[in-house]
Amino acid sequence: MRNKVVMVTGANSGMGLATSIELAQRGAHVIMVCRNEERARLAHEEAVRQSGSERIEWMLGDLGDLDSIRKLVVDFKKKFDVLDVLINNAGVVSLKHEYTQHGFEIHMGINHLGHFLLTNLLIDKLKNAEQGRIVNVSSGAYKVGKIHFDDPALKKRYHVVKGYAQSKLANILFTKQLAERLKDSRVTANCLHPGAVMTNLGIDRKTGFGKRVYALLRPFFLTPKEGAQSAIYLATSSEITGVSGEYFYRQEVKNLSVRANNKQDAEHLWRWSEEQVELYMK
């Protein structure tokens, strides 16, 4: 990975931070995308300390804010002509029915639409790479997911599992359609299930709700470093050069449900996503 440029979203903690550290150790120039400047600075210091590399920098980017995503891309393109790997890692789990700044249901807005826009705005720089790679962090929760095209904001009936699972299924359908659209290029797109990883997802930052449950379950979870291994594999391995449109778990391609292989849904989701962010795609 020496001298390759890698962008990791949600890099201030958990798997994003662990991924950034290991890729920097392997020689990559890592851009850590974080939404908060204070947390970005602290995470950057930690990444430099643990990796021993100075080839790490941070950029601000809030995946729930389309304006912020546009600014991130502008800032990136001022400094770099090539992006070798984009790891769409940032994610949210919300117990409450919340919305992003632009009015999207928070799971769909951050976990899918934010990365949809970011990826499309960076496609030209990925195509400049010798072999560009897009790595989307999904989840096994996709299996209980459904894309509610008639009510994507889940206004009729909301539940955290319903929202999260819909967004994780969207990650896979996005990957499938992205791979199809990039099939005549040197850029590949794959997604993964990292396993059950101990992160801050699902913990209410204001009340701390969820911490006790996590404490009880901690022995059964993977560490962020362990959970990051699939993303690192997809970003670095020569074994999968040219492999695209697949879903990985523990560094192996896994079969998907019928719903996750639905080509019509993947095309429909792409068109819907374009319509939601079209003002920011130009």
Residue 222 bridge partners (DSSP): 197
CATH architecture of 5-280: 3-Layer(aba) Sandwich (3.40)
pLDDT score recorded for residue 198: 54
Residue 266 CA to chain centroid, in angstroms?
A: 18
Mean pLDDT of the chain: 92
pTM of the model: 0.91
pLDDT digits (tens, 9 = 90+) for 204-254: 445 444 455 444 444 445 687 887 899 999 999 999 999 999 999 999 999
Write down the domain spans for the chain. 5-280
- Say how far apart CA 282 and CA 275 lie, in whole Å: 12
Which residues are the active-site residues?
Answer: 164
pLDDT value of residue 197: 53
H-helix segments, the chain? 14-25, 37-51, 66-79, 106, 115-127, 160-181, 211-217, 224-227, 229-236, 263-277
pLDDT digits (tens, 9 = 90+) for 133-187: 999 999 999 999 999 999 999 999 999 999 999 999 999 999 999 999 999 999 9
Query: Which H, E and C letters describe 200-225, residue by residue?
Result: CCCCCCCCCCCHHHHHHHHHHCECHH
Backbone dihedral angles phi then psi of residue 222, each to the nearest 5 degrees: -75, 155
CB within 8 A of 216, min separation 6: which ones? none
